[in-house]
Amino acid sequence: METLTSAINVQVDARDKEQATNILKDLGINMSTFINMAIKQVIKKDGLPFEVSNPKPSKELLEALEEGEKVIQEVNSGKRKGYNNVNEMMKDILND
């Protein structure tokens, strides 16, 4: 049985291509082999062979960031003492 091939031409960022090419080379495969592997996986999975998502920060992270902003505002307004380094903080703690 004769195998037919078809060319694919894609535009990618030059730096991305270089980085990917180097990684693939370290793995012992070239870009063409990788693209063929990826296409086979799309067919096998009947979709993308990896998760595509728009990661969102967790509730805990958002709360921590909000708390951090409040602390910064309190330090800047003089309501809370701030430190420029750990040594300053430790000296203050030990003097209490």
| Whole-number pLDDT of residue 65 | 96
Q: Note if the pTM is more than 0.75.
A: no
pLDDT tens by residue, 46-62: 999 998 888 899 999 99
pLDDT score, position 1: 63
3-state helix, strand, coil in the chain (%, to 5): 60, 0, 40
What is the model's pLDDT at position 79? 94
Report residue 67 as tokens.
């708390």
Two tokens, residue 22: 């180097």
**Residue numbers in the chain where pLDDT is lower than 50:** none
The reported pLDDT for the residue numbered 5 is 87
Quote the CA–CA distance of 96 and 94 in Å, as a whole number: 6
User: Which tokens is 80 given?
Assistant: 């809370």
